[in-house]
């Protein structure tokens, strides 16, 4: 006589049932990089100097004369620099007037970026107006690469002087 | 010409090493976000906690990225950070519940219903009552689907130890579930 009950329900371990239930939930929200990036920036407002591993020193002249309705000798700004090759970097910058229609601009970024192809960023001028800072592509034939003592490499125009290099605040040696 | 336009005639290139670019970290964030947020959500059962802790995990990863030498895959490294954050959260939550239960006078006026602090799922509540190391191993193996070897790697223990811990955790969960069933039955 066959005593096997083919209709017997398999016994399920309650622990397995519980663990299956715990494994079921799925996280459906998409990553929001922009929002995270803002949070990242807000948590290190005083960490810029430590994290500022790149110093770009650019000199030039105002193409449009006074770009602000307020006279200024120097001012600082922050923003996102967009290079022409699609890279972006968070930038803390400072503009310093050096003469009639002349100024220097120092841009500190929190990472590596190749700005040799030029790029732009929106900045706020001292009078509160918005301005677009545009950098022109660097001519490879008229530039040189320097390796700084801490290993960083900086490409600069050929006419970059020793005084210009001193402003990078690290001792360079030409490659 | 737009008076609000400034133009520079020089645009030096500069490179640094080895710190990752923000853009590279963005790709890293997008690649691993779902895995980490999912892990945290399954352990906490709370949307807001998950969003906060996930952001904390990636912030911690960003800040300590120079210390990551690739000894373990990036996701394992992130899971370790996530586990630490969740464990800290669990300890704080369990501690808060305990305090409120021990202070009936205060809880009568301030938080009359401590069940508001309980996870909505009784099964999750049972899991959160287990010792932290047992929660970790159950979560990694059954909730995240990691093999014993992967669990061992993430928890920095041997596979044998992982197997043993898993068996103890299953027993503990079984007891906790039975205990809760008894409590809820009339």
The residue among A13, A16, A17, A22 with the most chain B CBs within 10 A of its CB, best to mutate, is A22
Domain B119-186 class, CATH top level? mainly alpha
For residue A142, the enclosing domain spans 47-167
Strands A102-109 and A88-99: antiparallel
The one-digit pLDDT tens for each residue of chain A (175 residues) are 444 455 556 668 889 999 999 999 899 898 888 777 767 665 543 333 322 322 333 322 232 233 444 566 777 888 888 887 888 888 887 777 766 666 667 777 766 677 777 778 888 777 677 777 777 777 777 777 777 666 766 677 777 776 666 665 443 333 3
CB contact under 8 A, B20 and A58: no
CB contact under 8 A, A64 and B2: yes
User: What residues of A are in contact with residue B173 (Cβ under 8 Å)?
Assistant: 15, 18-19
Buried b (16+ CB within 10 A) or exposed e, B102-140: eeeeeeeeebeeeeeeebeebbbebbbbbeeebbbbbbb
Query: How far apart are alpha carbons B14 and A23 in whole angstroms?
Result: 47
Is 0.80 surpassed by the pTM of this model?
no
CB contact under 8 A, B13 and A115: yes
List the 75-114 stretch of B: residues with Cβ below 8 A of A.
Answer: none
Q: Is residue A84 part of a domain?
A: yes
How does residue B38 score in pLDDT terms, banded at 50, 70 and 90?
Answer: very high
CB contact under 8 A, A119 and B11: yes
Rounded to the nearest 10 degrees, what angle do helices B22-44 and B74-102 cross at? Answer: 40
Domain count, chain A: 1
How does residue B64 score in pLDDT terms, banded at 50, 70 and 90?
Answer: confident
Q: Is residue A33 part of a domain?
A: no
Nearest residue of B to residue A159 by CA position? B10
Structure tokens at B4: 């609000």
Nearest residue of B to residue A87 by CA position? B23
At residue B157, φ and ψ (nearest 5 deg) are -130, 170
CB contact under 8 A, A14 and B11: no
Is some CB atom of chain A closer than 8 A to the CB atom of B151? no
Assembly ipTM: 0.74
Q: What residue ranges do the domains of chain B occupy?
A: 119-186
Within 10 A of B2 (CB to CB), how many other CB atoms are there? 10
**Lowest mean pLDDT segment, chosen from A24-28, B6-10, B158-162:** B6-10
Look-up of token digits 């299956």? A20
Q: Is residue A78 part of a domain?
A: yes
Q: Is residue A21 part of a domain?
A: no
């Amino acid at each position: 006589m066959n005593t096997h009950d083919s209709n017997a329900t398999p016994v399920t371990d309650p622990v397995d049932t519980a663990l299956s239930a715990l494994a079921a939930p799925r996280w459906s929200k998409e990553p929001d990089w922009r929002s995270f990036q803002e949070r990242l920036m807000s948590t290190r407002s005083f960490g810029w100097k430590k994290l500022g591993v790149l110093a770009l020193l650019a000199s030039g002249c105002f193409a449009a004369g006074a770009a602000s309705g307020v006279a200024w000798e120097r001012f600082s700004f922050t923003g996102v620099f967009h290079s022409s090759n699609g890279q972006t970097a968070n930038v803390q910058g400072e503009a310093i007037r050096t003469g009639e229609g002349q100024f220097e601009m120092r841009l500190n970024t929190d990472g590596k970026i190749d700005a040799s192809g030029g790029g732009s960023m929106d900045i706020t001028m001292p009078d509160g107006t918005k301005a677009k800072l545009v950098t022109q592509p660097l001519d490879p034939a008229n530039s040189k690469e320097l390796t700084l003592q801490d290993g960083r490499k900086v490409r600069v125009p050929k006419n970059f002087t020793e005084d210009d290099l001193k402003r990078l605040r690290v001792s360079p040696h030409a490659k | 010409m737009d008076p609000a336009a400034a133009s520079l005639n020089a645009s030096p290139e500069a490179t640094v090493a080895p710190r990752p670019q923000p853009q590279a970290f963005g790709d890293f964030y997008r690649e691993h976000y779902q895995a980490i947020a999912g892990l945290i959500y399954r352990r906490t059962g709370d949307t807001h906690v998950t969003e906060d802790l996930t952001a904390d995990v990636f912030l911690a990863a960003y800040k300590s990225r120079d210390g990551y030498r690739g000894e373990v895959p990036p996701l394992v490294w992130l899971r370790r950070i996530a586990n630490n954050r969740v464990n800290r959260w669990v300890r704080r939550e369990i501690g808060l519940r305990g305090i409120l239960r021990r202070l009936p006078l205060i809880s009568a006026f301030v938080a009359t219903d401590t069940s508001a602090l309980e996870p909505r799922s009784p099964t999750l509540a049972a899991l959160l009552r287990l010792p932290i190391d047992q929660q970790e191993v159950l979560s990694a193996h059954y909730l995240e689907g990691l093999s014993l070897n992967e669990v061992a790697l993430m928890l920095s223990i041997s596979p044998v130890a992982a197997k043993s811990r898993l068996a103890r955790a299953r027993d503990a969960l079984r007891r906790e579930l039975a205990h809760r069933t008894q409590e809820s039955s009339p």
